[in-house]
Structures are given as structure tokens and as C-alpha cells.
Amino acid sequence: MPEIIEQWQQGDVSAFETLFRQYERLVYRMAYLITGNKEAAENALQEVFISVWKSRHTYDPNKGKLTTWLHRITVNECSKRKHQKVSTTISLDEKGIDPPEMKRTTQPEEVAITRMEYERLLKAMAALDTKHRSVLVLRYFNDLSYQEIAEALEIPLGTVKSRLNQSLKYLKAQMSQGEAGV
Amino acid sequence: MRKEGMDCKEICELLTAYLDGEVTPKEKAYIETHLLGCPKCRAELEAFSATRENLRGALTAMAEQAALPPRIWERIKNRVEGEGSKFFRWDGFSVASLWRRPGWKTVLLSALGLIAIIGFSLTTVNVQSPEARAASIARSSPEVQAALNGEELEEIKVVTKVVDDEGNVLLALVQTETRALTATVDLETKRVTEIVRVHVPEFTSEDEQRARDIATADPRIQELLARGGIISRISPSRELSTFREGEVKMGATIYIELEGKVWRAHVDLEEGILRGPWPPPSLFSLSSVSMSHLFYRLVALGFIILGILVLVGLGLRNRLSEAIAGVTSVLLGIIGIFWGMYAMSSLPGALVLILGTSAIGLLIGIVDFKRRTGRRKTAIAGVVICSLALVWDIFNIIMAFRAKLEADRLLSPETPSGFSTEWVVPLLLILVGIVVIFLAVKYRKQLLGLFAAGKVRRLATITATAVVIIAAAAIWQFGGFFEVGAPPPAPAPAPAPEPTSPTVEAPPPVITPAAPTEPTPIPAPSLEPPPPMPAPPPPFERSVVPEEARYLPGESIDVTLSLTNTSANQMTLELWPPEIRVTPRLDWNDTLFSTASGTESRVMAPGETVSLDYTWDQKNFAGEQVPPGWYNILFGEITIRYGNSSTSFTPGSRVLIQYPQGATENSFDLNQSQTVNGITVTLERVELTADGSNFYFFFIPPGYTAPPTGHGLPPMPPTMSVMAKAEYSVGGITKYVGTAGFNTKGDGIKLIWGGGPGKLDPVPSDAQELIFIITQLNDWEGLWEFRVPLE
């Protein structure tokens, strides 16, 4: 891996392709979760890797993981698009989605409930701004520690903590309101 | 209750972190204790936990739903490979990608600025300085060739230059040690507009003596001598600005060796004023104006390069910059060492720059060392060299301060040593510089952070570039930028002469005095005691009685020399009694009679007067009566030692041996003309008095044209001058009368021998005829002989 990184930094396009193949899924998913829009995520994916190529000299392997660097670029790219319309049509779908595997063992009825819950959650999340959504995605999708989030976004640890708490509190409130409504 | 509520609110803020395992053990214990006794918070925690779990699931589900879009890689690849042609790409770098990086824009802008400044300067200066261009014009000018009369061109040297407002350059071209031309070169028309022949007086041993007297009378020089200084050399210097008037003002430069260093002072022989002493020049003495311009330009260049290197080193964060940073640090260290040597040339404002260079180099070296993981050798070398440079610079600055203080004390003996106000500004600058450097080192992380943030970094680098370029341009253009702390009023440490009256010191440039081989009557050597000096008088008085007197042939001529010690200490007269010499008045080197000097020293107590009587019987070495005329009786040279210093001088008396039959006292307006080889010289007037004689001639030199007028200027001096020598004979005795003085008159030149009382010998009353022969008139062939009937 260090060889690939070195070759990429020296301008080797095939090494760059290897990196792209390795991380395209991560970047695309993150972008999709943050923007809530497939088209925006596709654009973001492209721009993130163009940016990764152009600024390959600014990446210092001694300073941090490549993924941290990628997270940062992706969040930045998505933030650029925040003025674009954030999708409000989040839905787990049309064709129907498969809930995560861990839920597979549960009862179909439960699955249905879970699906509804998910959709409501995602809708609520769409109302949040990019800053808060980014933190939520990095923590609960990418599974980064608070410290890693702070490094990736170049924000203080306390800010990570408060953003997450605010976001979760907001989502919790939305969910309980929904429940009350039902 | 209230307390509990607060706790619950606090707990609520921490629940997400608690669930994420991101609380401290202390917080964890606190939360868990609280939860045990607070059902409300327990419920809250459950809700948080559920939301959190649901969110995880929802995000994962949503992510899984998003299939990767196709052909993204192809699009990226196209854009990546279309980024600039292969030609401009090397090892992954491309011109386009370089340009996209803000640091590189700075570098390129700096380089462009540098090129612009150099280009601008080259076009305005036209590669050569005006002086150099004028010199080359003068060298190839037919007018100059003509004025040289076939003398070797190699002997012409440009001594100095004076640029006037009209863009004319006045050059002094020296032919021999006593002859020179001045040529005015119009740089616009590239023509020599004016040539004036200049008589350069010889620097006689008497001039040297007088210079020594004036210098040793100065208390500042006395202090140098008292501290063990020795006058190692006295060399002539000529005020070249006076070349314009056709007669060169003489001066002398005194070199005093003290503790292996050479101090200098300048003596104006006409005014009897001493300037200086100037402290020993530094290793890189910047004595001439053009040199200091060069220096400032070098500084400006260094500044630009420094700026670029710093910006490259700090402004960029890529591999290239890391590679450069170490080298930058090393380079700055070397520049710092080099500039340290300039500390001695007392450019106070530049001290900040001198220190700053090394300090910035050190900073870059440290930063480079810290951030690099690989090769650290250059960074270490940079740190070491910059540290040495800093120590060296500080040492040099301290030495410069000490030398400066010493010089100040000597220059103004009344002020006790200490910091003079001129040093306040540079001192403040140094303090500010040190504070800035200290702060920069302390907050380097924050500073580097500035460079890291995109917009700020761009702004900072562009601002820094602008500042660097403006500063460099200012230094380049105005040079004196650094002389914030004005140099002391009297002498700059390197005595940069005012451009309008530059002084030529003999040994380095051109005019080197030879031992006097021929009489030089003009100007007549002065026997008067030195004119009033600005400094306190020497601690003794001297007199010669009579200073000037008339005698008949055969009469005894009694002269008394008196020296009085007016100081409170004893003095020593060396080799007492002094040699006494008799010479013709116009020819000091033709010794007619002399007595040998003594070999003993004579001590003079305070207040004591030592007298020496001498009687001349009007006879020469052969015991023959000398013919009537003017003579000098000279004592010395006399050397008086007092304390650790000494002074030497040659006092004398002027005596006229009159004709027993009396002198002709008459004036004639003759208007007698002689034409030889087409050159007509007219003897206009002869004035004969009991004390001497004067001869006035007029002639129009060939090729001489009326001075041009124009541009609203006053009429210029003649375009040509003359060198004329003559002799005359009366009653079979031939007398040399030396070189003529001259004046312009109408469309020609007026030559004057005598011209004042008592210069040329008188003419006996019984003489029938006087034959006056002009033996040399420039370099034209011929003798112009005039017979003046005296009855």
C-alpha cells in the first residue's frame, strides 16, 4: 500500500486507479449519505478523486491515514454542494430495501417496523444541515472515533461531541413526535 | 430538586458520548451513579440508544441501496490525463499543476518581479553607468585626441565624474602627474562639448609638511598619536570639482596607523582645515558612490532571493518545498555570514536585515528539521550554519558598535563616550527585529498554520510577495533605504564624498606625485604660517623674523627663528639645530647654500622659548655673491615631539636682494606681436616694480572657438586651455619664470606671468632691454621671443 501511495504521489495513473477502485465505494456512499442525492453523490465522487489527483503532493503519509484525508475531501466536496437542494425525497424505497443483515434474523413484522422507522429517521436527518449530517455519517456509518472526526473535519473535539449530541437529540425528538402522532 | 435538575441536564448533554464510549472514566462513573437514581435519565438514555441504533441501521440500509455509478473512472481518467501536454510533464509535475498551487504563483510572481526590476534598471541605466558611457565617448572623441596632441591614449584615465542637471558628465582625464584635461560629455548628443586643460599642481614636500602640521595640530589626531599612532603616509589628493576652474585645489590625505588599523584624515591645504579622522574602513569599504549603489542593488537582489526562498520554504507544503527548505536554510546561513561582514560598514538599518537573514534561515532549518522524517542532513546543516551566522553577525555588530563609539568619541572630543542619539533609531530597529524574530519563533506553528489554510495562505503569500518586491524596488531605486539611522554629520565611516566635490586620493586612483624634478612656481609655495585652524593651536608658537625683507648685495641677512613651548609639558626638538637652506624663491629644490643639521635633541621646558639666529652672507656654496633677486631662507624640517606625538614643519623667510643701482619701476603697454608657425602671441603689457615684475600676453590658440551659448545657460568657459612656460633675461642673466597663469579674454586666452607683487624678480634700473621668451606653448612648435626696450 505505501508503494501504491508513493506511485500515485509521483503521478502514476494506474496506481491512482488502484486507489480509486479501493475507495470509490466509501466515498460514494459517504457522499450519498451526506447529500441524500445520488446525482450529487456521483458528481461528488468524481470531483473528490479529481481533487485527490491534483493535490496528491499535499498528502503527507506521516501525518495521517489516507482515509482521514479522503473523509475530509469528501466532506468538503459535499459542503460545496450544500447550497444545492438537499434531497428531501429520502426513501428506503420504491423497490424496497433490504435492511442490514444483522436485522435479517428478526421477524418480518419487525423488519417492516424497522423500515418505517428508518425512513422517518432519514427524513428527519434530511432536515439537518451538512455540518451535522457529516458528523453523523462519519460517526454512525464510517464508525470514526470522535478524535478521528475532529481530525478529518479539522474541528475541535468538543465541537464533534456537541454536534453529535445535538443531532441525536433532534432525531430522537423527531422520532418521539412521530410516535406521538401515530 | 434544583440540583438534581441541573444534573439531569448535564447528563443529557453527555449521553451520546456515553453511548459512543467517548466519555472520561470519571464522567462515566458519574453518569452511571446518576442513572441508578434517576429513572428520567434512564428513559432518556434508552431513547438515545434506540435512535442511535436505528440511525446506524438506517444509514447502512441507505448506503447499501446506492449502487456505484458506472464509468466514473473513465471520466476521471480523461480529466487527469488531459491535464497538460506530455512535454510539460515530468515525473508527475506539470506546469499547469504547479500554477494551480498558490505557493508557486508567488514564486513565479516574485521571479517576474525580479526580472521586471532588473530589466527596468538595465534599460534606464543602459547597461553602463552614465560615467562609464561618458568615459568611452571621451576616449574616442576626436576633440580629446586633438587636445592630447598625440600623447598616448593609455595614459588617459577617468578620475571622477560630476553629473549635472543637464545630463552632462564632467570627466577629469589625467595625462601626467601635473597635467590633466577636463572633458564635458553631453550624453544626449554623445559628444564632447568642452575640453579644458588643467594644471595640476605638484604635491611638494612643503605641501606634505604643511599637511602634517595641520593634522598634528588637531586634538583628535593628537589623541590618535598619543595612543601610539604613527603617521604612516601623507598622500596628495585633489579636489576634482575645482578642475572646472582650471586650477586644482590641493589637499592631502593623512594615514595614521594605530594598532594595526589605518585611520585617515583629509587636509584642505588652502583652507587649512582638517576633516576626519575616519575610523579604519571595514573589510568591504564602500568608499565610492557607485560602489554603494552596487551594494544596495546586491542587497535588493538578496532580499528578493531571500523572499522567494522563504516563500518557497514556508509557503508550500509539498515534497519539493521540503527539499528546498533545507537548502534555503543553508543558503540563508551563508548569506547571513556574508552580510555579517557588512555590519562594520555601519549601515545601522541593515543590521535588522543582517540578523534577520540568519534568524529566518535558522527558523526554516528548525521547521524543516521538525517536519521531515527522511533526510535531515540539509536541515541540520542549515541549523548549524545559521546558528554560526547568528553568532558571527552578533559579534560583528558588537564590534561595529564599539568601533563606532570610539569614532564618535574621537570625532567629538567634548562629548563623553556613550550612545549618541543617532543610534536610537537603529537600536530600536534591532530591538524590534529581535522581538519580531522571537515572536516568529515562538508562534511559528500558528504562522505555519496560516500558510496551511487555503485562502489565508494565498492572501499571506501574495501580501508577502508584494512587500518583498516593493522593498526590493525601494532599495534598488533609493539605495539609502537602509540608512535610517543617519550617519554622523561630519564623516561617514567610509567617507563617501559629495558627488559635486569628489576627492581623489592619490594612491588608489591616478595622480601620483613624483619627487619634484622641476620648479613649480605656480602656485608659489607658501611660507606664511598656516592659516587659522579650526582646532586649538598646537602647543607651541613659532615665528621667523623678518618674514620678508629687502637687502642690498653684500649686506648680511639676519634671520631669527623662535619657538615657544606654550604647553604645560616639556617638548623635544629633534636634531637641533635644524638644517638651514637658501633657495631661489620660485625654486625650492635648487639649494644655493645650506648648513648641516645638528644631531642632538633639545628639550624645551613649559613656557621656554628657543631662538636660533642665522646670518646669510649672500654667498652660495662656491662662496660667490648670488645675483639680486628673491630668495628663501628655510629652517628645517624641524621636528617637535610632545607626548607621544610629533609635528614637523619648515618655516622660512623671504628675502629680496635688490639691485644696487635700483630697480626699474615702470609699466608699458606694448602690444607687441610675434607669429611663429601661424600662432600669434601678443605681449600686451609689462609691469616692473621694485618688488617684482609682471608680464601679460594674449593669444588665440589654433582651433579655438568662441564658447558656445545656448539652452539659456551662461557662456561656458573656453573650450581649450593652455600650458605655457617661459624665461627671461636681463643683462645676460637668464631667469626661469615657470608656468603661466591664464584667463579667458574675448575670443582668446590671456597668459600671465607674475600677476602679483613679488613673484618674479625685479629688473635693474640700468637694463637696456629685457628679452622674454615663451619656451613652451601647449605642444606647438616654436619659441616666441619678445624684446622689451626699457628706456
- B407 in a structural domain: yes
Residues B345 and B450 in one domain: yes
Same domain, A75 and A114: no
Same domain, A69 and A110: no
Integer Cα distance of B436 and B777 in angstroms: 70
Query: Is B417 among the domain residues?
Result: yes
One-letter-per-residue 3-state SS of B513-571:
CCCCCCCCCCCCCCCCCCCCCCCCCCCEEEEEECCEEEECCCCCEEEEEEEEECCCCCE
Residue A94 to residues A110, A119, B493, Cα–Cα distance (Å)? 19, 12, 91
CA distance linking residue B632 with residue B758, whole number of Å: 12
pLDDT per residue over B247-276, tens digit each? 566 778 888 887 777 777 888 777 777 776
CB B703 within 8 A of CB B146: yes
**How would you classify the pairing of strands B548-551 and B652-657?**
parallel
Q: Any idea what the CATH number is for the domain that residue B195 is in?
A: 3.10.450.40
In B126-250, alpha helices (H): 130-140, 142-148, 205-216, 219-226
Question: Is the Cβ pair B97, A41 closer than 8 Å?
Answer: no
- pLDDT, residue A149, reads 92
DSSP string, B249-275: EEEEEEEEEETTEEEEEEEETTTTEEE
Pick from A92-96, B139-143, B495-499, B733-737: least confident: B495-499
Q: CA A57, CA B476: separation in Å to the nearest integer?
A: 36
Query: Residue B723 class from Cβ within 10 Å (0-12 exposed, 13-18 middle, 19+ buried)?
Result: middle
Domain boundary among B657, B677, B699: B657
Q: Are residues B158 and B35 in the same domain?
A: no
Residues B343 and B439 in one domain: yes
Closest CA to A163 of A80, A41, A75, A90: A75
* % residues pLDDT > 90 (chain B): 1
CA distance A90 to chain B (A): 9
A72 and A32 in a common domain: yes
Asked if residue B319 is part of any domain, the answer here is yes
pLDDT the model gives residue B540: 77
Q: Which pLDDT tens digit goes with each residue over B158-197?
A: 545 445 555 566 665 655 555 666 777 776 677 777 776 6
Give yes or no: residues A64 and A113 share one domain. Answer: no
List, for residues B504-533, the tens digit of each pLDDT value: 333 322 222 323 333 333 333 333 333 333
Say yes or no: B58 and B6 in one domain: yes
* Residue B498 within a domain: no
pLDDT tens for B299-331 read: 666 666 666 655 554 444 445 555 666 777 787
Cβ neighbours of A146 in B, within 8 Å:
17, 20, 22
Residues A14 and A68 in one domain: yes
Q: Count of CB atoms within 10 A of residue A3's CB?
A: 9
Same domain, B445 and B342: yes
Please say which residue of B177, B199, B221 terminates a domain. Answer: B199
Highest mean pLDDT among A17-21, B77-81, B369-373, B642-646: A17-21
C-alpha cell at A102: 444483522
A90 occurs within a structural domain: no
Residues 30-49 of A with CB under 8 A from B: 32-33, 38, 41-42, 45-46, 49
Quote the number of domains for chain A. 2
Distance from the Cα of A129 to chain B's closest Cα (Å) equals 16
Complete edge-to-edge strand list for the sheet that includes strand B638-642: B600-604, B571-576, B638-642, B645-649
**Which CATH number covers residue A55?**
1.10.1740.10
One domain for residues B547 and B476: no
Q: Does the predicted TM-score (pTM) go above 0.80?
A: no
Which residues fall within 8 angstroms of residue B484, CB to CB, at 6 or more apart? B348, B349, B425, B426, B429
- Whether residues B641 and B672 fall in one domain: no
Residue B791: pLDDT band (50, 70, 90) is confident
Split into its structural domains, chain B has a count of 5
Q: Do residue A66 and residue A134 come from a single domain? A: no
Task: Note whether B187 and B159 are same-domain residues.
Answer: yes
The enclosing domain of A162 has a CATH number of 1.10.10.10
Q: Are residues B632 and B688 in the same domain?
A: no
Among residues A80, A109, A142, the one where a domain terminates is: A80
Q: Which of B13, B58, B64 sits opposite A98 (nearest CB)?
A: B64
Q: What is the pLDDT of residue A96?
A: 44
Which residues of chain A register pLDDT less than 70? 81-113, 178-182
Return the SS3 of A10.
coil
User: Hey, are the CB atoms on A9 and B22 less than 8 Å from each other?
Assistant: no
Q: Is B77 on the interface with A (CB under 8 A)?
A: yes
Please give the pLDDT value at position A160. Answer: 93
B721-754 pLDDT, tens digit each: 567 788 888 877 888 777 676 666 667 777 878 7
| CB nearest to B57's CB, from A13, A53, A118 | A118
pLDDT at position B521 is 33
Task: Determine the pLDDT at residue A81.
Answer: 63
Q: What's the rounded Cα separation, in Å, for the pair B465 and B509?
A: 42
Asked which of B199, B221, B254 is the last residue of a domain, the reply is B199
Backbone angles phi, psi at B442, to 5 degrees: -65, -45
The domain of B430 spans 291-482
The whole-number pLDDT of residue B510 equals: 27
For residue B595, being part of any structural domain is answered with yes
Question: Which of A80, A110, A137 is the last residue before a domain boundary?
Answer: A80
CA distance B329 to B323: 11
State whether A105 and A151 are in the same domain.
yes
CA distances (Å), origin B272, targets B127, B204, B653, B745: 42, 16, 20, 32
* B447: confidence class by pLDDT, cuts 50, 70, 90: low
Region of poorest pLDDT, from A86-90, B400-404, B543-547, B629-633: A86-90
Residues B679, B645 share a domain: no
Mean pLDDT on B437-459: 60
Q: Note whether B428 and B478 are same-domain residues.
A: yes
Residue A86 falls within a domain, yes or no?
no
Last residue of some domain: A80, A114, A133? Answer: A80
> Which amino acid appears at position B626 of this protein?
V
Range of the domain at A9: 2-80
Residue from A30, A54, A90, A98 whose CB has the most chain B CBs within 10 Å, to mutate: A54
Q: Is B17 within 8 Å of chain A by CB?
A: yes
> Residue B180 falls within a domain, yes or no?
yes
CA B364 vs CA B108, B333, B380, B447, B727: distances in Å: 21, 10, 11, 12, 79
CA dihedral angle for residue A8, residue A13, residue A16, residue A18, rounded to 10 degrees: -120
Q: Which of residues 44-103 of A touch B (CB under 8 A)?
A: 45-46, 49-50, 53-54, 56-58, 60, 62, 90, 92-93, 97-100, 102-103
> In this predicted model, what pLDDT tens digit does every residue of B236-247 receive, in sequence order?
776 555 555 555
Residues B370 and B455 in one domain: yes
pLDDT of residue A27: 92
The answer to whether the CB atoms of B317 and A17 lie below 8 A apart is no
Q: In this structure, is residue B115 part of a structural domain?
A: no
Stretch B563-588: mean pLDDT: 82
Closest CB to B60: pick one of A32, A42, A100.
A100
Shared domain check, A117 and A46: no
* Chain B interface mutation, best of A5, A29, A62, A160, highest count of B Cβ atoms under 10 Å: A29
User: How many contacts, defined by CB atoms under 8 Å, are there between A and B?
Assistant: 147
Residue B557 belongs to some domain of the structure: yes
Helices of type H across B279-376: 289-315, 319-340, 350-371
Please report the pLDDT score of residue B112 as a whole number. Answer: 57
Q: Is residue A67 part of a domain?
A: yes
| In a domain? residue A48 | yes
